[in-house]
Structure 1
């Protein structure tokens, strides 16, 4: 290891240790009488105000996906990687009203997970189980993406082998187990501060070092002109425009269906906190656009990705290598810490959210209906450890061309909960049997299409990405479509048709225990105070 890398590693390690210590200290931050309940361990006491929620949700949504995966896609494919910018702009108006309704009904009834809501809304434990399993499975590759970000940073510093990643994983598991949601909420302040500093410096300093924006875009276009793929380039073209639009819309619809996104929202103390955050969070979208440009800068800087464990160039290392190429060693260490910590915060929230799903909607529903709040918290802590192990397996088994596909494959899966969760918040028209049939059809179609997508970089035949080539179904075109959008369309069509049929046959439907005024309740409403007791009674019947 060179002296430069030693400096980077020392600074990275110091900041990582400081943040990890904050994770353990967080157990005493705003500490309640006891942490032995999901309301406290998994939702931070449902008491976070505007600033904490802004950093928490922002730290949850803008992750290693933002800092590593998006620039890697831009480096490898060009303009197609910028789909992440419009989707994060579109998403907030789409979810503004829906999330407020979810907050209200969840606080009235004491819901901890989206599956809790589905169980009460449609009176179906089977549908709630499907939503819970979907959320857990979809979260695995998303956590895996965070671990990929840490691994890429370590590789750029010349640190090889799996032990450093395992150590980071163990530390994350330990402070998440002890402090619950309070740990990532506290760490998010430091994480966002580091990221804003690094990106603002990078966006001005790196173009100056590389000869200006004209040279950067020129170098990128020259690279893509030499590649055989028709979908590469600094501009979109006929072959990738449809997939770009479908990716943006599909990703926007999926973002707040993820259990970790819901967890951040439910942890806020009132509806006004959510309103302010939906108005302010697009500031992160501006940051995301700047980060995506790092992919073009890496091309102009002549960055060559480090070879991964499969012997192929690992595009995830381009941003860390770019920082190493242009920044002084001490600031490179700070930048590496920003990436590493930027992966820890969302990984912690995701594992907590997935663990809550298992505890509330699988363990309590099917194994221990009389589980106490303390037992729920203990089971959720243990489940959060298992979820992280599943994320590691996702890295080993999927191995896609671009790490961003880990998130996009998860999006295909989580989109199948949209009819029951998102549409369920605004209408009770769907029959529970129709929603189950739609989920089965959409999931089957999505998995079939994903299975048929090969990875040209690693020569794996299956699950190599999320863009389905239309020529596979007999259309003579090079265009591709986002699997998630097609699977969701199939899901909705089947759900509608099955609902019409079941209504015509007068098939028994589930009982909705929510009421219209539950969806507009706010902090201070007497119903909110007594909600946790009501959900215990309602879900037990």
Structure 2
């Protein structure tokens, strides 16, 4: 048996995961037919997600199927330097713990549904809210486009090319839209749980098979020492600069993904939120760490792969392991099905949050404030599908020029981190300074990215973030006063309408 010709097996597992996702959506709808009656129900699952489901939906947001494929390939290419991916993910959890509990309390007290709701509540500024919404929608659209492309490539790989790239995209996107329409956040969270379990089991089975049939780390280390000794070293000079500023970029940028923030709002209570985040602290070791080890072990299995070939190293290892016995064959088929399901689950959460910002923050706040929740939800659904259709046109034949757009995602998104996080703690935060800093940081990051400039080896997003913070803090010190804006602590302690200096 060989995964390379497992077209029928791939199609069956693809159909299996697709049917499970549809059933989750149907069951969720039948158990809660009021899901479309309120924004809380549809977009936040009624703010009732317990520790286990909340943990897996955070897990699905942070770890996609691309983590397994892409990070293993990177570890194969650069060696032990790629171990830095573990602290990247730890940094994300630390940033969550920095701001999530306080933001959760505010979301319950003030009925916050989207991250833009928080910006509006805190700064009472249309300019800050609109700019924040634009940045978040850009990042979400970018992220969704990546997932659409990954779904097509994953299906084509799983079925050995039997199912073409475009057919795979259409199949899973149609299923995703259906179960998302039926059950909202509950459907998304439950499918996240399914794919999270499948991905974890599959990855550990791949690790076990790799060790059994290719040897462990000592053998891989001996091979690297003999043939690629440069991959045993640690970064120096400019490499350390890249490590440190990428740590900040990923840690703060990924922690303020709008779909991740909505999971904070969806928690049943603060205890469930803290427990799920505490459990997430182990996952960098059990996911990124395991994936790193798999990439290192691939040295002894497939030496001297080119860069393009190394991108397929997980599939190559899984194919060899699957040939050994029926247990590993089934496990590897399930792994690749789980990888595709993981990508779909990432895409569905992105689409749900994308729709919520359109329906709640743009349509509901500025276009038709009198609209019912049901109508807002319907507008979000329809415009979400329109956005997916537009992105599908791009994903159908993705141009190479999209690379810079992909790179720009975190570089731009991290510019909302100061407003979201500092706004929770700093009473002097001044709305005009927040807006100006966010805009200046965004423009600088975009300019550096598209011109290819990287002064001192520092990423464009970090340059933008530094400018953002300088403008924000200096402007707030000069123009802000403790009384000019109601702090997050005030909002928690008092039942009064927040007031901040508006930006017209």
Structure 1 residues 302 and 331, CA, compared in 2 at 3 Å: closer, same or farther? Answer: same
Q: Contact (CA 8 Å) 1:87, 1:251: kept in 2 or not?
A: yes
2:160 equivalent among 146, 158, 161: 158
Structure 1 residues 498 and 224, CA, compared in 2 at 3 Å: closer, same or farther? Answer: farther
Q: Which residue of 2 aligns with 1:18?
A: 19
Q: Return the offset for 1:224.
A: 5.2
Q: Which residue of 1 aligns with 2:322?
A: 327
2:466 equivalent among 473, 476, 489: 489
Give the 3-state SS of the residue equivalent to 1:162 in structure 2.
helix
Instruction: Tell me how far apart the structure 1 counterparts of residues 96 and 115 of structure 2 sit (CA, whole Å).
Output: 14
Q: Which residue of 2 aligns with 1:77?
A: 78
**TM-score, structure 2 normalization:** 0.87
Unaligned 5+ residue runs, structure 1? 307-311, 454-467, 522-526
Q: Which residue of 2 aligns with 1:374?
A: 374
Q: Contact (CA 8 Å) 2:5, 2:160: kept in 1 or not?
A: no
Structure 1 residues 76 and 409, CA, compared in 2 at 3 Å: closer, same or farther? Answer: farther
Q: Contact (CA 8 Å) 1:83, 1:245: kept in 2 or not?
A: no
Instruction: Tell me how far apart the structure 2 counterparts of residues 52 and 29 of structure 1 sit (CA, whole Å).
Output: 19
Q: Which residue of 2 aligns with 1:90?
A: 91
Structure 1 residues 319 and 144, CA, compared in 2 at 3 Å: closer, same or farther? Answer: farther
Q: Contact (CA 8 Å) 1:144, 1:406: kept in 2 or not?
A: no
Structure 1 residues 31 and 384, CA, compared in 2 at 3 Å: closer, same or farther? Answer: same
Instruction: Tell me how far apart the structure 1 counterparts of residues 357 and 472 of structure 2 sit (CA, whole Å).
Output: 24
Q: Which residue of 1 aligns with 2:339?
A: 339
**Aligned-CA RMSD value:** 3.2
Give the 3-state SS of the residue equivalent to 1:240 in structure 2.
helix
The total of aligned residue pairs comes to 487
Q: Which residue of 2 aligns with 1:181?
A: 185
Instruction: Tell me how far apart the structure 2 counterparts of residues 130 and 260 of structure 1 sit (CA, whole Å).
Output: 17
Give the 3-state SS of the residue equivalent to 2:458 in structure 1.
strand
Q: Return the offset for 1:11.
A: 4.2
Q: Contact (CA 8 Å) 1:122, 1:510: kept in 2 or not?
A: no
Higher fraction of helix:
2
Structure 1 residues 223 and 335, CA, compared in 2 at 3 Å: closer, same or farther? Answer: farther
Structure 1 residues 136 and 75, CA, compared in 2 at 3 Å: closer, same or farther? Answer: farther
Structure 1 residues 106 and 397, CA, compared in 2 at 3 Å: closer, same or farther? Answer: farther
Instruction: Tell me how far apart the structure 2 counterparts of residues 30 and 250 of structure 1 sit (CA, whole Å).
Output: 41
Instruction: Tell me how far apart the structure 2 counterparts of residues 282 and 323 of structure 1 sit (CA, whole Å).
Output: 28
Instruction: Tell me how far apart the structure 2 counterparts of residues 315 and 400 of structure 1 sit (CA, whole Å).
Output: 22
1:215-294 equivalent positions in 2, closer than 5 A: 215-220=219-224, 235-287=234-286, 288-294=288-294
1:39 aligns with 2:45: no
Instruction: Tell me how far apart the structure 2 counterparts of residues 361 and 81 of structure 1 sit (CA, whole Å).
Output: 39
Structure 1 residues 247 and 368, CA, compared in 2 at 3 Å: closer, same or farther? Answer: same
